[in-house]
Amino acid sequence: MITLYGFGRLYRRVIGETRDLRAQWALEETGLPYRVHALDHTGGELDGPAYSRISCFHLVPVIDDDGFIIAESGAVLLYLAEKAGKLIPPDFEGRMRVVQWCFSALTTVERPLMEIQLIDKFGGGEGAENRRAGMVKEAGRWLDGLERRLDDREWIACADFTVADILLATVLREIRKTDLLDPYPRLKAYYARAVARPAWHRTLSLYAERLGVTVEDIR
Ligand SMILES: N[C@@H](CCC(=O)N[C@@H](CS)C(=O)NCC(=O)O)C(=O)O
């Protein structure tokens, strides 16, 4: 049985923004049986000795599959896809295409989007306005590229929905409260398609229940 280490108690302002969402979304999509170990972040559980043995960076998400432990959301999703034989194609080239787009989401697209989200949420201190403008400019390069990629396709890596779409959609979600997707109709439609999936709705409900908020609070 898989155990997902996710948040159980968390500082209010980051509820709804954490990466255990993407891991749970993949679990819900694959149908693999799992349980959630809900960590108390506010009580320091991530820094305690027990969790230290599971996550060397003291971060969430991590999964433990009967003793085999995997950290890093991208690796967690690829593991789940490989294990389930779902959300990734069976052929080598198709799988590498998914890996490519997982890296794109996490190492290229997420950086400026996450920075914009952090500035919008927490202010960002001195120089934040200039930094945000720079990040918006950089984000525009990656969003332009995604819009082109989606010219004639429904999903980012392959014909079918894959874990790369879970990563990219959760990354795009970081700017859902801005108008930065407005110039990109195909990307907007792609995001809407991804978050319309029943497994995402189940994930949001389960997460909201776990954190003691409503789905509306975190949508
Ligand atoms: N690169 C890691 C980042 C994980 C990460 O930053 N997790 C945050 C929640 S989204 C966390 O556990 N923060 C707790 C802390 O910093 O104390 C991944 O993709 O899994």
Residue with tokens 């794109």, as numbered in its chain: 104
pLDDT tens-digit profile of 181-201? Answer: 999 999 999 999 999 999 999
pLDDT tens-digit profile of 19-77? Answer: 999 999 999 999 999 999 999 999 999 999 999 999 999 999 999 999 999 999 999 99
Residue 124 has pLDDT above 90, yes or no: no
pLDDT tens-digit profile of 2-13? Answer: 999 999 999 999
Q: pLDDT tier at 126 (50, 70, 90 boundaries)? A: very high
Section 146-154 average pLDDT: 97
The alpha carbon of 84 and the centre of ligand 1 are apart by a number of angstroms equal to 24
Mutation test residue for ligand 1: of 47, 54, 59, the one with most atoms within 8 Å of CB: 59
Q: Would strands 68-71 and 62-65 be described as parallel, antiparallel, or unpaired?
A: antiparallel
All CATH 1.20.1050.10 domain ranges in the chain, comma separated? 92-197
The order of strands in the sheet holding 34-40 is: 34-40, 2-9, 62-65, 68-71
Mutation test residue for ligand 1: of 60, 77, 80, 122, the one with most atoms within 8 Å of CB: 60
pLDDT tens-digit profile of 78-114? Answer: 999 999 999 999 999 999 999 999 999 999 999 999 9
* CATH code 1.20.1050.10 for 92-197: yes
CA distance 84 to 79: 9
Residue 70 pLDDT? 98
Q: pLDDT tier at 217 (50, 70, 90 boundaries)? A: very high
2-87+199-218, CATH topology level: Glutaredoxin (3.40.30)
Residue with tokens 């996710």, as numbered in its chain: 6
